[in-house]
Amino acid sequence: MRKHTRERLPEPDHLTRRWKAWELGENKPSKHYAPMIAATLDTVTTSLFPPEARSSEVLAATGMDTLEIVSRLQASDVDEATLRAVRITVEKLCGEYAYGNPADLLTEGRSWLRRIVEMQEQRLSFVQRRDSLELAGWLALLVGCVEYDVGDRRAAEATRKAALSLGQEVGHPGVQGWAHEMRAWFALTSGDYRGAIAAAQAGQAASSTHSVAVQLHAQEAKAWARLGDQAAMRAALDRGRELLEALPYPDNIENHFVVDPAKYDFYAMDCYRHVGDDRLARALAEDVIRDGSDFDGRERSPMRISEARFTLGVAAAQEGDLDEALDQGRRAISAGRTSLPSLAMSSRELVRALSERYADVPATREYVAQVRAITAQG
């Protein structure tokens, strides 16, 4: 804790008693101590100590159903209530990215994108035109992400460029930043780590005040980790953590284009796994699985949880526990919602760890063949 503050802290014995009381739940750290504890554990404050009331769903009541919204969009004039309903619909779709059926998301996302484009032919005020183009930008980002998930890389890149163009046209740092983030993600999963760093830094320059900058720092850190530069990796993670600490807790953490504290832990997990810090990577993986699951065990973030299981599998393989490594690996590839490029990248390290230690074991050969069959689809 002393390393993460310039303030004078109590003597070691006194501070140790406080720490034990916090661990036992006897009291909650004050706003003074909470950021220091989070920094000590390589995370952010709201990941450890979230606000009492967490808004986990988009507003359900728009006052209109889909048919009414479409009818209003086709009218000669578009009022503010219609635009508000469209915005809520777009946010709902972005919230379904983590678990929704990719084919359904593509169909619905493209359909709404087409409706918003058609709306540009109607009589709109300057503000309405700007807002509608921003919404088109968010939808293009969503569609591009899903296209990449299912292996349609060419379409995903074209859609990403369209989103960037829309973001630049309306001067929206969030849309621009996420378009650069997608480019960094595409490069990272393709093994172009220098390209990922360049894309992440370009995005940071375009959106330094927007929350997407946190994720751009995280993508940069992941690329530095794969290049073996731990100092640059930790510096990028620290920049992202410090920025996230300064941001308010998001209203809707279900939205894919919102950076919540749990997502930051997810990125840090990837970095530490790749540089061989299995102890910290395992701890973060367990946090990711817990934070991405409901009390009844339903997975709200199956793709994050899948990568967390790969992390646990790598740690188990390094420790000599083949059964645990294979169990975690099988659970990782059985997730209902996957991103083929991300799954290929995440599974690569577990396949390498298993092949190095247990190449002659039939169960290993069977699992490796299963992974390669799945990732070949992308």
Cα–Cα distance between 129 and 134 in angstroms, integer? 9
Q: What is the pLDDT of residue 351?
A: 93
Q: Is the residue at 301 inside a domain? A: yes
Residue 360 domain-assigned?
Answer: yes
Let me know if residue 91 belongs to a domain: no
How many structural domains is the chain composed of? 2
For residue 138, tell me if it sits in a domain: no
Mean pLDDT by 10 residues, the chain (378 residues): 84 85 80 85 78 39 52 66 88 91 92 85 84 93 94 93 93 96 96 96 92 95 96 95 89 87 86 90 92 76 90 93 94 84 88 91 93 80
| β-bridge partners, 123 | 77
The verdict on residue 251 lying in a domain is: no
Could you give the count of Cα atoms lying within 13 Å of 237 in the half-sphere of its Cβ?
26
Classify the phi-psi angles of 292: left when phi > 0, otherwise alpha if psi is within -120 to 50, otherwise beta. alpha
Beta bridge partners of 293: 299
Domain extent at residue 5: 1-19+29-40
Q: Give the CATH number for residue 372.
A: 1.25.40
The answer to whether position 342 is within a domain reads: yes
Residue type, 203: G
Q: So what's the pLDDT on residue 58?
A: 30
Write the CA distances from 187 to 153, 246, 269, 304, 312, integer angstroms. 11, 29, 19, 19, 25
Alpha carbon separation from 165 to 100, 112, 168, 214 (Å, rounded): 27, 18, 5, 22
Flag whether 255 is in a domain: no
Cα-Cα end-to-end distance for the chain: 44
Do the domain assignments include residue 161?
Answer: no
pLDDT of residue 121: 76
Tell me the residue type at 119.
Answer: M
CB under 8 A, 24+ apart: contacts of 212-215: 212/173, 212/174, 212/177, 212/178, 212/181, 212/257, 212/259, 213/177, 213/240, 213/243, 214/240, 214/243, 214/244, 214/247, 214/259, 214/264, 215/181, 215/240, 215/259, 215/263, 215/267
**CA-based angle 139:144:147, to the nearest 5?**
125
